[in-house]
Chain A
């Protein structure tokens, strides 16, 4: 692909980089205990926690780095970090 003048680029290409491969721990979300507060989606540094149709939340494992901030902030403790089986 030809270089863009001035080392510029349009939006979107960061999504090519699937940072989920970095993970050691994986978040497991329990929709049963979820209070639907949305804090997990608000504070994820990747912005990869999305709302489901039921109004609960789930991680996008293509990008989740397994940092554990969502587990830390969830007021209902309904997110648990688990060592990922690879």
Chain B
């Protein structure tokens, strides 16, 4: 049954059904509605969890780490400046192999200060060892949380995950969402069984330091776990589809790619706009398609190369910029397509919440087909 609700609320409702035991989160626009909703649920005894009103995002993720290590399923949410403050803890959590799931309501990073959407925040932590999933709409945002917990808590994986959905565009937008019941979620996501935990009955020292003799092998093990997460995600996504009727058994998803000459590549809500623009272009006879990246980490390089075989022009929409070297997704897609013969162009677009319309998507396709790329799209030259 579909219910019309705000994206943040959908996320809160799903997180509630995932039964976290400890929630430690610090409010920051545009994630605030999620943590407020969860606080109200705890206050109404709808959610049986410890809710720690921590004094900063740094402390939020640190508290989640402690609770996870002690054996609890945990949850947090943040964005932008808050995620940047957690930078140190993010690397620590991945290295300590704690299966923490955290919502990122994607928002641009200052300076200059901006509360509006782009994907700089989560993308800037792509080296951290966290899995990264990007939602196109609020249904995906909700669903990906369940799948994330399942993948993360797999004893073969044991990694944390960001579930990313675009701030304001998805978090504050009302869409119809199908929310599963508590029983249905319990059927998909069993109770948390930690691989190891802090326990006086079975003492362990967690987070020891590693000399040069050991450090590299620990990092290798994390990378291997990320590679294993591909299959784990596909399996969890297929099981999700079997139970709920919405299939997530792929790291990337093609839209009208089968005979495309030009392909757009993108992540997140921009894919929705892109699909509408593609439908219009197709109606006008242009062979354009979209490759949506669902999992950014682990990066689906092989899947991208396979999906874009035969495409001659690729236009990557980057809602981020690796300053000094172009868009992060574009750089990685180019690397994945090395040797394919395709012309791959990168477009920095929609930074800081600048709106993207169907005609902007079409304009990008025009530029790519004319061989004009690796640029900022839509700069207001009159203010430069």
Which among A7, A9, A10 has the highest number of chain B CB atoms within 10 Å?
A: A7
Flag if B214 contacts A8 (CB, 8 Å).
Answer: no
Chain A residue numbers with a CB within 8 Å of B98 are: 6
A36 smallest CB distance to B (angstroms): 32
Interface size counted on chain B using CB atoms at 8 A: 19
Interface size counted on chain A using CB atoms at 8 A: 8
Give the tally of cross-chain contacts (CB within 8 A): 41
Contact among A3, A9, A10, A11 for B218, CB-based, below 8 A: A3
Flag if A6 contacts B214 (CB, 8 Å).
Answer: no
Flag if A10 contacts B204 (CB, 8 Å).
Answer: yes
Q: Is the CB of A15 closer than 8 A to any CB of chain B?
A: no
Flag if B195 contacts A11 (CB, 8 Å).
Answer: no
Q: Is the CB of B187 closer than 8 A to any CB of chain A?
A: no
Flag if B221 contacts A3 (CB, 8 Å).
Answer: yes
Flag if B195 contacts A7 (CB, 8 Å).
Answer: no
Flag if A7 contacts B204 (CB, 8 Å).
Answer: no
Chain A residue numbers with a CB within 8 Å of B195 are: 5
Chain B residue numbers with a CB within 8 Å of A8 are: 196, 204-208
Flag if B208 contacts A5 (CB, 8 Å).
Answer: no
Give the distance in Å from the alpha carbon of A11 to the alpha carbon of B214 in the complex: 18
Proximity bits, B155-169, A CB within 8 Å = 1, else 0: 000100000000000
8 of the cross-chain contacts (CB-CB < 8 Å) are A5-B195, A6-B96, A6-B98, A6-B196, A7-B96, A7-B207, A7-B210, A8-B204
B residues neighboring A (CB under 8 Å): 95-98, 158, 195-196, 203-210, 214, 217-218, 221
Q: 16 extra interchain contacts, Cβ-Cβ under 8 A, other than A5-B97, A6-B206, A9-B205?
A: A3-B214, A5-B158, A5-B221, A6-B96, A6-B97, A6-B207, A7-B95, A7-B96, A7-B214, A8-B196, A8-B204, A8-B206, A8-B208, A9-B204, A10-B204, A10-B205
